[in-house]
Structure 1
Amino acid sequence: MKKIIILLALCVSFSSCLDLDPKKYEVINSSIFPQNKADAEALVVAAAYGTFRCSHYDGIFNCASGIQVVSDLSTDLGECLWDDSVWGPLLYHYWTPDYSYTNRFYSSYIKDFSKMILAEYRIADVEMSDDERNLLLAELNLAKGWLGYLLYDFYGPVPIPTLNELLDPLQEIIISRPTKEWMVSFIEESLKNAALYLPARYDAGDSNYGRFTKGLAYTILMKLYMHEQDWTRAEAIGRELEKPEYGYELVTNYKDIFTLENEKNREIIFAVQEDRGVSQQLWLAHVLPDTYPTKNPAIQKWNGFRVPWTFFHTYENNDKRLDVLISSYRGTDGILYNESNKDQYYSLSKGVIPLKYGEDPAATGEESQVDWIVYRYADVLTLLSEAIVRQAGVTQEAIDLLNKIRSRAGLSSYMVTDFNSVEEFLDALLLERGHEFFFEGMRRSDLIRHSKYIEYARKKGSTTTKDEFVLMPIPQSVINESKGLILQNPGY
C-alpha cells in the first residue's frame, strides 16, 4: 500500500442525556477492544508505526524538527538561516536541559514504549493464527527496539516500564534509568525477536510495502553494534544484508534515489510512505529560497536549512552528489546567487542549498508526497567497510565496498596503496559518509563513533560545547518530577 494510515480504534457508545456516568473516551477498554484480528491489526499499526512518521510536523522523522534533521544540524554539515536565538543552541552546542530541540524526542516519544508493550498484552488472546500473531508481535518488537536505539543513541539509557507496572496505573511509580548493559540487551533482544518472524522485504508492488521487514530489523541491529563498537557482530549483520533474499542494490544515479518517479527503489531499506491528504513531508519548503526557480511555482519556500560552505568545499569538483547541493543559481529576480556575493544576497550566506529531494508536481504549498527515506543500502555497505577495517586493517574488500559509493558519485576508485594507515582510511570513509548522507541523520553518530563530534563542533565555531555533549540532556522537567531518582547526563 502507498501509505500505512495510523488509526487507533476507539469504542464510543451513545446514550441518552440522562446518563451522567462519566466515561473516558481516550482510554481503550480492553474488555471490548480488540476483539478480532482486524481490531488487533488496527491496534498494532497505531502502536508500532505511529512513532516512526514524517507527517507534516509530527513523527520522530518529520523533516522540520525530527531526529535526523536535529542530529545533522548539530554537526559540521548543518546550518540554518533562521533566528539564531532558536536554532543557534543546536548549531553551536549551547543547548540546556530546557532546550526544546534536544529534549523533544524524550518528551514526545518515551511514552510510546507503553503503547507498544500494552499492545503486545492486548493481542495475546485475540483469535488468530500463530503466524498472524507472531507477525504482529514482531512489528511491535521492532518498534520497541528501534525507538530504544534512537533514544539510547541520543540520551543514553532511558526508563522503560514493565507490563506489570503498566497494568497498575494508579500506583505512582518513578522508573529509574537502566544500566547501559540492560538497555543494549533490550534493544538487541527486541530486534532479534522481530527478525525471526518478519519477511526479508516487501516488493514495491506489495500491498504491505512500507511495513517493517527483517531487513530493517537487521539494519538497526547493525547500527546498534557499530554504536557499541562490536565490529564482529556488525560485520556479520552487514554480510547478512548482502544476501539476495533482501534484494537491496544501489540506484545508478544518486539524485534519482529521492524522487517521486523512483519511490520504492531497491536501495531503500525503509522510507516513510507519504501520500496526498494523508501524510506529507516538508523538505523543499524548509530549504528553498523564495527566489529559487522551481518547475512547480506553487511550492512553498522558507529559506532555512543549509550545508556550510566549509563542508561543501570538501567535495571533489566532479562529485555527482553536487547536483543536489545548490551553490549557484539564477533567481527568479534575475540575480545570480553564488559564493562570490553570498553576503550581499542572503540566501547563500551560510551555505549551499541541500535540495536532495525532487519536486512534487502536485504540491500547492509546503507539503510533498515524495516518500521520506530513513535508511538505505549505501549505509549498510559503508558501515560494513568500516567494520571490516576496524578488525582486519585496510583490505581490498573494504576498499571495494567504499568504491561502490564513490563510483556512483563519478569519482575515482581508491586502492589499498592510497592509505598508509587504518586511521587514514577511516578518515576518508567518514568524509565519504558525510558526502553521501547529508541531512539523513547519520553524521552525529558517525562523528561520535570516530571521536570527532566535539572536535568538529569547535571547528564549526562552538565555544560552549563540552566533551560530555556526545549525549543530549534529559529534559529538566523529567529530572525535577523524578525527585532525584532519574539522574541527568554528565555535563549538564
Structure 2
Amino acid sequence: MKTHKIIILLVAALTFGSCETELELVDYGEINPSIFPKSAADVQAMVDASYYPLRASWWDGINSPSERGIMFANASTTEVLTGDFGVQLNASLLHFTPASSEITFFYDWYYNKISRMTTTIDYIQQADVSEEIKTKAIAEVRCARGMLAYYLYDMYGPIVIAPLEVLKNPLKEEPLPRLSHDEMVNFIEADLKAAAEDLPHPAETEYGRFSKGLAKMLAIRLNLKEKRWDEVNKLADEIITMGYYELDSDYVGMWDLDGARNSQEVIWAIPNNYEGTSENQWQMMALPSNFPGRGGWGTVQSTWWFYDTFEENDVRKTNLIAEYTGTDGITYNRSNPGNNMNLGPLPLKMDADAARTTALSTVDLIQYRYADVLLSKAEAIANHNASGPNEEAMDLVNRVRRRAGLEDLELADYSSLSDFNDMILTERSHEFWCENGQYRADLIRHDKLISRVIEVTQSPYATETDTVFPFSRERISEGKGVFIQNPGYN
C-alpha cells in the first residue's frame, strides 16, 4: 500500500478556540521544518489540523451525522437504525462486498490522516518552541491519532500504520501489511496513555477540545473491545476520582441547543454552527419532509423492534418519535405509518431545532458521556468477578436507570452473567442510541451482532465474518499481496 506516498495537507484554523471558529483549508505542500512550524501559532495550526477529520462534515468529517459518518453506518448494523435504501439498508442486512464504497469509504478516506498525524508529531518535536507547548500539542495530536486509529480498527480490524521512517522516504515504494492484532492494540493504547498523561484535566479544558477524561474514555472503549475487564475498571475509577463528571439530571435536555455545553456529564461533544465549521445534519436525516416546524429528508428510521424494548416510562425514548401529525394534517404512527414510519419510529434523539436557518443544526453532537463510564464499570465488575455480577455492578446500572425515570433492577433477577450482560446491552442501546455508533461494538463484544441482525431483519446475508467490514479492491490491489482482505470478502 502506498501509505507513505502522501503530500502533507494541513487543515489549519486561524484560531481554533472552542472548536467553533471557522476552519480554513490551507495546502502547505511538503512541509520544510526549517520554515514551518516555527512559532506557537504554527504548532497550534498543526494541532487544529488533527481535529479536522474528527469533526462532523458530510465531505470530510468522520463524525458526520449522515451516511458519510461512522455513527450512521455502525448504528445501521444494529436494531437502532434502518432504512429502505443506501448504507442504512445494506448495513441493516450486513450485505457488503469490497465494491460497497459506502462502507469501504471510511478506510479509504481516513487511513492516511493517521500518517499525517504521525508526521505532525515529528514536525512539532522539531519546532523551536517551549517544551510546554510541544507537550500539550503532541498530547492533542496523539489523542486524535488514537481516536481515529481506534475507530478504523473497530470497523475493519487491524489496519496499516505507516512508520515515520517510511513516511520520511516517500519516493521509495514499499507496500505495507496490516498490523497484527497485538501491534494494533498496542499502538492505540500507547497513544491514549500518552495523551491522558499530558492533556489537561476536564475542568481546565476548553469546550470541544480533548481532555484527560476523553483519552481515558477512549481507552475504556478499546479495553472493552479487548475484554480486558481489569483495565476497564481501573480506567473508570480514574475518571470517577477526577471528581468532575456527574450524571445530568435532565437526559433529554443534554440535546437542547446549548445542552451539551452546559452539562458536566459530557466528556466530549463536537460543537456545530450554521457556517459549516462542523455540521449537524441529523434533523435532516431523521425527520420527514412533512414534519411540523421544519422537516428533513427522512433518509433513516429506527425499528419497531427497538422501540418495543423500552419500558413505558423511560425518558430516553422521548425523542424516539412514535407518532406525529404532519403538515398535511395526517397523524402518522405504527398503525398509519405512511412511507416515513413503515420500519419504525423517527430517531430524532435531539432538539428538532425547528428555527434553524439552513439544512444544518446548531445542536452539538455528544460523543462520550459519564454514563458510559458507569455502565462500562458495571460490565467490567460483572465479567471480571469470578462470582459474576454483584450489588456494586447493579447499583451502577441503577444509577443510570434512575436518571431515566425507571425503577431499580434487582440483582436476584440478573444473577447469571449471561442475563446481566443481556441487560447491560439493552441499557446501553437505550442510553446511547444515535450518539457515536459504539453499540455495534457492544453487540460484537458479546457475540450478539449476527443473531440480532437475523432476528430483527431476517437477513439472508449475515454471516459470522460480518463483524468487520470489507476493504476496497483498490486498497487490496495497492497492497501487492501484503495487504490481506478480511475473511469472507474475497
1:17 — aligned with what? none
Cα gap change, 1:148/1:56 in structure 2, threshold over 3 Å: closer, same or farther? closer
Q: 1:339-488 residue pairs with structure 2 within 5 A?
A: 339-342=334-337, 345-360=338-353, 362-392=355-385, 393-440=388-435, 441-459=437-455, 460-488=457-485
Q: 1:115-194 residue pairs with structure 2 within 5 A?
A: 115-194=116-195
Deviations 1:260-312 (A, max 9, x none): 13232111111111123132210100011122112xxxx45111221101111
3-state secondary structure, aligned to 1:238: helix
2:322 — aligned with what? 327
3-state secondary structure, aligned to 1:356: coil
Cα distance in 1 for residues equivalent to 2:20 and 2:328: 41
Contact 1:300 1:365 in 2 (8 A): no
Farther-moved stretch of structure 1 (356-365 vs 212-221): 356-365
Q: Which runs of 5+ in 2 are unaligned?
A: 1-16
Please tell me the residue identity of whatever aligns with 1:62.
S
Cα gap change, 1:104/1:465 in structure 2, threshold over 3 Å: closer, same or farther? same
Contact 2:58 2:69 in 1 (8 A): no
Cα distance in 2 for residues equivalent to 1:2 and 1:293: 33
State whether structure 2 residue 5 is matched by structure 1 residue 3: no
1:22 — aligned with what? none
CA-CA distance at 1:68 after TM superposition: 1.3
Runs of 4+ in 1 over 4 A off after TM superposition: 7-11
Deviations 1:174-201 (A, max 9, x none): 1111110111111111111111110121
Contact 2:156 2:470 in 1 (8 A): yes
1:242 — aligned with what? 240
Between the aligned residues of both structures, percent identity stands at 37
CA-CA distance at 1:33 after TM superposition: 1.3
CA-CA distance at 1:28 after TM superposition: 3.0
2:31 — aligned with what? 28
3-state secondary structure, aligned to 2:62: coil
Cα distance in 2 for residues equivalent to 1:28 and 1:10: 10
Contact 1:260 1:359 in 2 (8 A): no
Cα distance in 1 for residues equivalent to 2:58 and 2:350: 15
Deviations 1:56-86 (A, max 9, x none): 44311001121111000011221124x35x5
Cα distance in 1 for residues equivalent to 2:280 and 2:339: 25
State whether structure 2 residue 70 is matched by structure 1 residue 67: yes
1:225 — aligned with what? 223
3-state secondary structure, aligned to 1:270: strand
Deviations 1:364-411 (A, max 9, x none): 231011111111111111111100000121211111110111111111
Contact 1:56 1:279 in 2 (8 A): no
CA-CA distance at 1:37 after TM superposition: 1.3
Deviations 1:115-164 (A, max 9, x none): 11111111223222211110001111111211111111111111111111
Contact 1:4 1:211 in 2 (8 A): no
Q: Which runs of 5+ in 1 are unaligned?
A: 12-25
3-state secondary structure, aligned to 1:124: helix
3-state secondary structure, aligned to 2:258: helix
Contact 2:82 2:89 in 1 (8 A): no
Cα gap change, 1:4/1:31 in structure 2, threshold over 3 Å: closer, same or farther? farther
2:14 — aligned with what? none
2:5 — aligned with what? none
Equivalent of 1:51 in 50, 53, 60: 53
Compute the TM-score of the two structures, normalised by the length of structure 1. 0.91
CA-CA distance at 1:8 after TM superposition: 5.5
2:253 — aligned with what? 256
2:292 — aligned with what? 293
Cα distance in 2 for residues equivalent to 1:389 and 1:160: 34
3-state secondary structure, aligned to 1:374: strand
Contact 2:274 2:358 in 1 (8 A): no
3-state secondary structure, aligned to 2:368: strand
1:39 — aligned with what? 42
CA-CA distance at 1:10 after TM superposition: 4.7
Q: How many residues align?
A: 465
Contact 1:8 1:42 in 2 (8 A): no
